[in-house]
Amino acid sequence: MDKPTHLIEYETMLLGQHRHLDRSAYILLSRIRMEGMMSIGQLSEAFGLDVSTLNRHTSALLRRGLAERIPDPQGGIARKFRLTEEGERYLDSERARNITGLEKVLAGWSADEVAQFAAYLKRFNTDIERLRGRPWPHPERQAQQGSGAGV
């Protein structure tokens, strides 16, 4: 039996058009918040992007005062990126804006429908992460590991 995969492709393409333009800052800051301080090499490994691309994105974060680059507190050679207070505020503001927008879109959905949709998206993302070999940190995974770097 053929799966209607083309329907998902089309809908994810449409979903991509609704993302705000400053998506890279939001994603980078979210990852650093979840993981804690990260070097450019760690970011490169986490995202599967070359260092030059990440240098452009992290330079923009530094210029905007959303992150800072500090010596590794554990004495390593590579400097680490961490969120500034402004970066924390920006991330919280963007997340709140995203949630408000989603609440408007999902206003006619029941709590159960929203939970089911979230579960399918989580499964979809987890399968992508598994295939790419780059898992994204999830709050519940960090709680199980006893990490204090969660959202």
Interacting residues of 149 by C-beta distance below 8 A, sequence separation 6+: 33, 34, 35, 36, 137, 142
Joined together, the tokens standing for residue 78 give 């590579």
pTM exceeds 0.75, yes or no? yes
pLDDT tens-digit profile, the chain (151 residues): 688 888 888 888 887 766 665 788 999 999 999 999 999 999 999 999 999 999 999 999 999 999 999 999 888 899 999 999 999 999 999 999 989 989 999 999 999 999 999 999 999 989 998 998 888 887 765 555 554 444 3
Torsion angle (degrees, nearest 10) of CA 80, 83, 86, 89: 170
Contact 31, 83 (CB under 8 A): no
Structural domains in the chain plus CATH codes: 20-145 (1.10.10.10)
* Angstrom distance (rounded) from CA 24 to CA 147: 25
Q: Give the pLDDT score at 138.
A: 78
Q: Give the pLDDT score at 146.
A: 53
At 35-65, the pLDDT tens digits run: 999 999 999 999 999 999 999 999 999 999 9
Tell me the chain's radius of gyration from C-alpha atoms: 17
